[in-house]
Structure 1
Amino acid sequence: PVDAATTAQQLEVLNGLWNAVNDHYVYGDFRGRDWAAIGATYQAMIEAGLSDEAFYRLMGAMINELGDEHSYFQSPTEVAREAEVLARGNDFVGIGALFSPIPPGDTATILSVFPNSPAAEAGLLPHDVLLAVDGGPIRDEAGISRTRGPEGSIVTLTIQRSGTVPHEITISRRRVTGSLPIDFCLILDTRIGYIFLPTFFDESIADQTRAALIAMTADGPLDGLILDNRMNGGGLGSVASAILGLFTSGVQGYFVSRESSDPLDIVGEDIGGSQTVPLIVLVDRDTVSYGEVVSGVLRLAGRAEIIGGPTLGNVEQLRRYDLEDGSRVWLASATFEPIGQAAGIWEDTGIVPDILIPTRWDLFTEAT
């Protein structure tokens, strides 16, 4: 049985969440949902008695009722874990590579390799494909990568690089720490640079991008620069603004909520000619949120041409609402209004490239 004090606290959290959505959700019609009826339904389930674990799952389901595929709920444990990652960076035991599943999910491709990690020492590279772990599935029943495991344990990976036959690599797991690395290089025999931006969630991304620009322009200005946003799922507005500031400046649009219209006002800085270098931005269906906003803004500012596949259109600005028990809801509270266009237009259309070409991550590398 659940005691009355637990139920009372759960109802306080429910009311906080319900009020945040009711007062601040960007879509005043709640996207056709009856928000009052949804609140009453979930209140009845809580009053029937729920464990904390079941309650937090229920709050996540309640936010998902909005159907915007962007807003989400975090339990106090998830809030604390995120704060730790932001404060300390990554800290895990494994091989030191960031993977992205390849549909339907039986295989995965490497997005980034941590410097000085077991993966780096084994010669693994972005775009390599993980086919199997110890001859079996790449994830366990809970969906956790089987490349994780006890420090010092041995794991055998089946890897395939584009254009080659699969081969096995045996690696000893160890602790991996630090910020998620970007990937950058000069394309062979050119003065064209390439930078892969995996996320805007990591606050070190802007400084890493500055360092990449300094390194690539040490011997002179670039003739062009490719910004790869294909796998960029968005993140922090401060990081997105800092990246934009390397290539443009001034008011680039507005975030329009039910209460206000706030300018996206970019402070520019030039590193090795970054404010004028011709840009290509790569996008595709995994370019989301601020990844889409940055890509679209650079084109509207006359700074970039966009190449790749259409994005899905998920550009609401999430704002944080902290609840009574330390849980949190990230709520779509504003939509983006590009200069000279209607608010929310990219939510409807996504970012449509100037040149449509297939850009599947695991089939193309910086060299190709």
Structure 2
Amino acid sequence: MKSAKGKFFATLCLLMTLFVLFGPYGDSRVSAVDSSTYRSLKIFNEVLDIVEKNYVEEVKQNKLINEAVNGMIRSLDPHSAYLTPDQYKELQVDTSGTFGGLGIVISMQNDQLTVVSPIEDTPAFKAGIKAGDRIMKIDGQITKGMSIQDAVKKMRGPENTKVTLTILRKDMKEPRDYEITRAVIKIKSVKHNVYEDGIGYIRISAFQESTVDELKKALQQVNGKAKNLKGIVIDVRNNPGGLLDQAVKASDAFLKSGTIVSTKGRVKAIESKFVARDDGAEPTCPMVVLVNEGTASASEILSGALQDNGRAIVLGMPTFGKGSVQTVIPLEDGSALKLTTARYYTPKGRSIQAEGIKPDIVVEPIRPAEGPETAENHMMREKDLKGHIRGDREGEQKPADGKDKGDREKGREKTDLQRDNQLKSAVDILKSWEVFKRIGKN
């Protein structure tokens, strides 16, 4: 076993290496390890040596150091994390759009694993998991003190295997178990439809690597289907966010000019400002953005950009309020740090951290009128989103009632708008836009 002195210098070398790795991410005013840091490292080294020599069971030094780093980063905020090589690989899979699991995005709120949003058309979504649900147990194991990365690892697994989440919701008297079957999650992040009277509908469920390409195709198809496009509804409800660059490019697809978002942190090198560029393909019709409590992070960037530039009306409920930027910094051994390095600001300089985007028009969702709100009722309301955009299999089904395709789509559209009062409000606003313009001229 190494001597305490040897371990001290090994730890010091590790720290100096980290300073080099961080480069511009470190504070230039603190370019060297000061005396207080030496003293703290000495204490750390002493504790490490005592644990290794005296703990009741033999423990590996690497495990102790990894856990120490993990604890240090977790103490900063709910979104910063130390990622082992396996966890770093999982993070890269998350943003590619295909992975195995349940289909929920989670965060840490008040030291409790909390659902930010279920992802559309996934096992968790279909089971009735909701934004704001607190995950008390995973397969019977209490989640108190469990990291987000460990929780994700437990929820993922082979396709068609089951996992039980114990959920506590505001309207529940006691926790309830949800048994969910894992599936390969293939996220199509953009869907679209066209309603009667030339109202287009664009649903963005997440911001991943292919989102902007999907969005541009959807806009082309909406323009092609609508003979006279009068307006567009952009639906980012329950969109948990994703890649910053995709949110910026998606915002740019709707804006001809103006600031999209800016980021500011302690280090000048990571400050940035993104500005829209006119490529001639941006929609010129009125737009309404639908938001709710599950609208988070990157989707708040899009909502704030369109709102502050006066390009769209924001309708729904106040958003989640995640206004921080995480930078993933790879380390030599294949692990990584996901570190909060900046806050982002809307074009008018608003930080939405812990505040959220306030809608121009607040419209609360109307729950099913009969009986308590159950998972089934929840699915009826959220299934409304699926109804707008018919899936491949759904489109292949033959009607049982003998009605032609046009009649069926009109009937479905009517039912969807009846079930989703927020969407109906957005569509009604766009339908009446020209009427109000004429009144204003008189």
TM-score range, shorter chain: 0.5 to 0.7
Which of 295, 311, 323 is the matching residue for 1:303?
Answer: 311
Q: Is the CA contact (8 Å cut-off) linking 2:194 and 2:222 kept in structure 1?
A: no
2:103 corresponds, among 80, 93, 98, to 98
1:84-123 → structure 2 map (5 Å cutoff) = 84=93, 86=95, 89-92=97-100, 98-99=103-104, 111-113=119-121
* C-alpha distance in structure 2 between counterparts of 1:18 and 1:43, whole Å: 18
TM superposition shift of 1:203 = 0.3
User: Which residue in the other structure is 2:218 paired with?
Assistant: 212
**Residue in 2 aligned with 1:60?**
70
Number of the residue aligned with 1:166: none
Mapping for residues 247-266 of structure 1, pairs under 5 Å: 247-252=254-259, 253-257=261-265, 258-260=267-269, 261-266=271-276
The residue aligned with 1:77 is 86
Contact 1:230 1:284 in 2 (8 A): yes
Contact 1:42 1:62 in 2 (8 A): no
Question: How far apart are the structure 1 equivalents of 2:104 and 2:339?
Answer: 27
Aligned-partner SS, 1:218: helix
* Farther-moved stretch of structure 1 (78-87 vs 143-152): 143-152
Residue 323 (structure 2) aligns with:
315
Q: State the distance in 1 between where 2:336 and 2:17 align.
A: 10
Deviations 1:302-354 (A, max 9, x none): 1111122223432222223222322211222222243343xx63226321111
Identity %: 22
**Residues 155-304 of structure 1: pairs in structure 2 closer than 5 A:** 176=184, 178=186, 180-182=187-189, 184-186=191-193, 188-200=195-207, 202-220=208-226, 221-252=228-259, 253-257=261-265, 258-260=267-269, 261-269=271-279, 271=281, 274-304=282-312
The structure in which a higher percent of residues are helix is: 2
Partner of 1:358 in structure 2? 364
Say whether the 8 Å CA contact 1:109–1:128 is kept in structure 2. Answer: no
Conserved? CA contact 2:323–2:351, under 8 Å? no
Q: Which is further off, 328-337 or 358-367?
A: 358-367
Shift of 1:211: 2.0
Amino acid at match of 1:354: D
Q: Where does residue 31 of structure 1 map in the other structure? A: none
- CA distance in structure 1 between the partners assigned to 2:340 and 2:67 by the alignment: 20
Greater relative contact order (CA < 8 Å, ≥ 6 in sequence)? 1
For 2:406, the equivalent position in structure 1 comes to none
Indicate the larger mover: 224-233 or 44-53: 44-53
1:333 and 2:341 aligned: yes
Deviation at 1:109, TM superposition (A): 8.5
| Contact 1:70/1:314 (<8 A) preserved | no
2:139 corresponds in structure 1 to: 140
What number of residue pairs does the alignment pair up? 324
1:196 alignment partner, SS class: strand
Structure possessing the higher radius of gyration over alpha carbons: 2
CA distance in 1, matches of 2:157, 2:296: 31
* Higher alpha-carbon deviation: 327-336 or 189-198: 189-198
User: How far off its partner does 1:204 sit?
Assistant: 0.8
Separation (CA, whole Å) in 2 of partners of 1:360 and 1:198: 21
Q: In the alignment, is the contact (CA less than 8 A) between 2:191 and 2:204 conserved in 1?
A: no
